[in-house]
Chain A
C-alpha cells in the first residue's frame, strides 16, 4: 500500500537547511499495524505528514496505492485524504468553537454524506474512541486534553479510512482509555485497515505487529513484533482495577520520565 523510496525532507529557513528525514526506505502492506517510535524531534510527525499526502518530500518517491504522490494534483490529493486516510494530529487540530459531534462529522461534510446520517456516524466513531456521551454536544475547547484527543481519534475513524495515521494518539490518555483506543485500532486492523501509529511508549508500540524505530531522520530498526500485546484479552481483566491502575501508574510514570529526559 505504501512504498517510500529514498525519502529526504529538508526545511530551509533563511538559507539554512535543516535535514529532517534522511533516506527513508520502507514499505507498508495493506492490513499492517505499524508503530513508529523515536525520540522527540526525530522526524516522526514529518514522516506521517508525508505518508498522509499532506506534505511532500524534498526528494525521493512516495507511492501510495500504486500512485506516485508527487505526480498528483492538489485536488487528487484532497480526494485521497478524503476517501482513504484518517488523521489523528499530535496537536488534535479541532475547530475550537464547534461541538464535538460537528468536529467529528466534518470529514463527512466533504465526503458528501447525507446530513441525516452524519450525526449517527459521528456518534458511533466517538463511542469507538471512548468519549463519554455526556460530552457529545460540548464545544471542543471545553474539553480536557484527553477528551480532545478522543475527539480527534473519532474524527479520523468516522469515514472508515483504509489507512489510519495517528500521531501519539494515546499521549494524553490514562491507560484505561488508552486501551480502549488501542483496542479500537486493533479492531480496525482486524477488519483489514492499515494503521500507522506514532508513539513514545513501548507499551503502546507493543500493540502493533511491526515496530519501526527512527532517530535523527533515519530508520534505526524495523522489526516484526512477535509477542504482540492484545487489548482484547487485556480488556477482560479491566475489571481488576488494581492491575490496571497499578500498571497505568507505572506506565504514566515511565512516560513522564522518558519525555522529561528527551526534552532536556
Chain B
C-alpha cells in the first residue's frame, strides 16, 4: 500500500466519526496546550527574574551581615536582622580593596510613610552618593542624594517611581513636596527612573535618604555603639575582577571581625552571578514541576487515544476482515490503524501548540510578565504527541493486524 493511500484511508476513517475523533483529540490538545503554556510561563518567569536581578546593578557584589547561608539566602531578603556590619567596615572596603568601581553602604528598614492625605508602607534605604553607580539608578526628575547632604544629615528623600505615584497620585512632579517618615519631615529632591521590575523584586517602590540621616533619626547605633549598615553594595570594575574583589572583601572583613575560620564568618559576600543562578534554579524547578503536572494530562490523553482505537478496532472488525480478504497484509492493516492514531495526536498536538501559545500570551498579558514559547518546546511537543500516537496506537493496531480474516468477517 502506498503511503499517500495509507494516509487517505486513515483520514477518511477518522472523518467518518468526526465527533469521536474530535473528542479523542481534545485529550491531546489539552495535554499539549497545558505543557506548552506551563513551560512558556515558567520560562517567562525565569527570564523575568533574571532580568530583574541583572537590573539591580552590574558586576554587583553584596555584603550582608549574619551567618553564612546557602546561595538562596538573598532570595529570602532576610538581611538586616543582624547589626554586625558597620560604617567602619564600609570605609575599610572603600579604601583598601582594589578593582572597585564604587561602593555604597545601605541601611534599610520598612516604614509607614505619609504625605498629604496619602500613605504607603515601603522600604526606606539610607545610602550615599555612590548608590546610583552601584545599583544602576537613573533619575527621572530632580537629583540623587549628594555627598554634602550625607555629611550634613539633610532631611531629604528620593522616591522610587511607584512610591511617588502612590503618595502623590495627582502631582506629576512631587519635587519640593514633603513626606513624613516616622513623624519626621523629609523634603523630596528627586524621583528615580523605573527599572520596570514587578512581582518578585520591585525596585520601583522605595524611598532613599542620606545614610547619616537614617542612622541619626531612624536607626541609632548597634549594641557596641557603632553605626551599622544592613548591607554594603560593591560594583567591581569589570566582570573578570568579580571573584578577586569577592575574595578580598571576604579576607578584609574576616580580619576586621577577627574570625579565623571562614566557615564561621558573620557576614555573607554574594555576587550577582550566584544570585542569578540560584534564582534561575528555583524558577527552573518550578517550570519542571508545572510541566510535569501538565504532562500527566498528556498521558491521560494518550490513554483516551488507546481507548478509542480499541473501540474502533472492535467496531470495524468486519471491515478489517474485508480488507484482508481483498489482499491487505498485516503490515497494511497495522500501519493504517497506527496512522489513524498518529494523525489524531499530530493534529491534536498542532492545535494544542497553538492553544498553549494563546494561553501563554493571555497569561503574560494578565500577569504582566513575558511568556516565552521557543522552538525547542514546540519541537518537543510535536515529538511527544507523535510518540504518544505511536505508543498508545501500537497495541490496538497490532490487535487489528492479527485478526483472522474469516473470523473477522463473521464478527457481529
Q: What's the nearest-Cβ distance from chain B to residue A30, in Å?
A: 20
Interface-located stretch among B172-180, B287-295, B324-332, B349-357: B324-332
B2 contacts the other chain (CB 8 A): yes
A74 contacts the other chain (CB 8 A): yes
Residue of A nearest to B328 (CB): A110
Give every chain A residue within 8 A of B319 (Cβ-Cβ).
95
A55 contacts the other chain (CB 8 A): yes
Give how many A residues have a beta carbon under 8 Å from the other chain's beta carbons.
Answer: 25
Give every chain A residue within 8 A of B328 (Cβ-Cβ).
78, 82, 110
* A75, B330: Cβ atoms closer than 8 Å: yes
* A111, B406: Cβ atoms closer than 8 Å: no
Give every chain B residue within 8 A of A74 (Cβ-Cβ).
329-330
CA distance A93 to B12 in the complex (A): 18
Residue of B nearest to A97 (CB): B16
Q: What's the nearest-Cβ distance from chain B to residue A145, in Å?
A: 17
CA distance A155 to B322 in the complex (A): 11
A83 contacts the other chain (CB 8 A): yes
CA distance A105 to B5 in the complex (A): 12
A215 contacts the other chain (CB 8 A): no
* B406, A54: Cβ atoms closer than 8 Å: yes
A98 contacts the other chain (CB 8 A): yes
* A89, B327: Cβ atoms closer than 8 Å: no
B318 contacts the other chain (CB 8 A): yes
Give every chain B residue within 8 A of A155 (Cβ-Cβ).
326
CA distance A228 to B2 in the complex (A): 44
A110-B406 contact in complex given A74-B330, A78-B329, A115-B5, C-beta closer than 8 Å: no
Taken residue by residue from 291 to 335, chain B's Cβ proximity to chain A (1 for < 8 Å, 0 otherwise) reads as 000000000000000000000000000110111111111111000
* B1, A75: Cβ atoms closer than 8 Å: no
Taken residue by residue from 31 to 73, chain A's Cβ proximity to chain B (1 for < 8 Å, 0 otherwise) reads as 0000000000000000001001011000000000000000000
A81 contacts the other chain (CB 8 A): yes
Residue of B nearest to A109 (CB): B5
* B327, A93: Cβ atoms closer than 8 Å: no
Q: What's the nearest-Cβ distance from chain A to residue B267, in Å?
A: 78
A1 contacts the other chain (CB 8 A): no
Determine the interface band of chain B, counting residues with CB < 8 A from chain A: 20 to 34
CA distance A98 to B322 in the complex (A): 14
* B406, A93: Cβ atoms closer than 8 Å: no
Taken residue by residue from 204 to 218, chain B's Cβ proximity to chain A (1 for < 8 Å, 0 otherwise) reads as 000000000000000
B409 contacts the other chain (CB 8 A): yes
Q: What's the nearest-Cβ distance from chain A to residue B232, in Å?
A: 78
Residue of A nearest to B326 (CB): A107
Identify which of B318, B322, B327 contacts A111 (C-beta below 8 A).
B327
CA distance A111 to B2 in the complex (A): 9
Identify which of B9, B16, B327, B409 contacts A78 (C-beta below 8 A).
B327
B405 contacts the other chain (CB 8 A): yes
A112 contacts the other chain (CB 8 A): yes
CA distance A111 to B327 in the complex (A): 8
CA distance A110 to B6 in the complex (A): 9
Q: What's the nearest-Cβ distance from chain B to residue A137, in Å?
A: 14
Q: Chain A: interface secondary structure?
A: helix
Identify which of B4, B321, B329 contacts A93 (C-beta below 8 A).
B321
Give every chain B residue within 8 A of A79 (Cβ-Cβ).
327, 329
* B1, A54: Cβ atoms closer than 8 Å: no
Give every chain A residue within 8 A of B405 (Cβ-Cβ).
54
Residue of A nearest to B406 (CB): A55
A87 contacts the other chain (CB 8 A): yes
A20 contacts the other chain (CB 8 A): no
Identify which of B5, B322, B324, B327 contacts A95 (C-beta below 8 A).
B322
A106 contacts the other chain (CB 8 A): yes
CA distance A19 to B410 in the complex (A): 18
* B2, A112: Cβ atoms closer than 8 Å: yes
* A112, B1: Cβ atoms closer than 8 Å: yes
Identify which of B16, B326, B330, B406 contacts A49 (C-beta below 8 A).
B406
Give every chain A residue within 8 A of B329 (Cβ-Cβ).
74-75, 78-79, 110
List residues 84-102 of chain A with CB under 8 A from any CB of chain B.
87, 89, 93, 95, 97-98
Give every chain B residue within 8 A of A81 (Cβ-Cβ).
324-327
Taken residue by residue from 15 to 26, chain A's Cβ proximity to chain B (1 for < 8 Å, 0 otherwise) reads as 000000000000
CA distance A155 to B325 in the complex (A): 12
* A93, B318: Cβ atoms closer than 8 Å: yes
Give every chain A residue within 8 A of B16 (Cβ-Cβ).
97
* A106, B326: Cβ atoms closer than 8 Å: yes
Give every chain B residue within 8 A of A83 (Cβ-Cβ).
327
* B330, A106: Cβ atoms closer than 8 Å: no
CA distance A155 to B326 in the complex (A): 9
A: which residues have CB within 8 A of B? 49, 52, 54-55, 74-75, 78-79, 81-83, 87, 89, 93, 95, 97-98, 106-107, 109-112, 115, 155
Enumerate 18 A-B pairs (CB-CB under 8 Å) in ascending A order.
A52-B325, A54-B405, A54-B409, A74-B329, A78-B324, A78-B327, A78-B328, A82-B326, A83-B327, A87-B326, A93-B321, A98-B12, A107-B327, A109-B9, A110-B323, A112-B2, A115-B4, A115-B5
Ranked nearest first, the 6 interchain pairs of A and B with the lowest CB-CB distance are A82-B327, A107-B326, A110-B327, A55-B406, A78-B329, A93-B322
B: which residues have CB within 8 A of A? 1-2, 4-5, 9, 12, 16, 318-319, 321-332, 405-406, 409
List 19 other contacts, CB 8 Å, given A93-B325, A98-B12: A54-B409, A74-B329, A75-B331, A78-B324, A82-B327, A89-B409, A93-B322, A93-B409, A107-B326, A107-B327, A109-B1, A109-B2, A109-B5, A109-B9, A110-B326, A110-B327, A110-B329, A111-B327, A115-B5
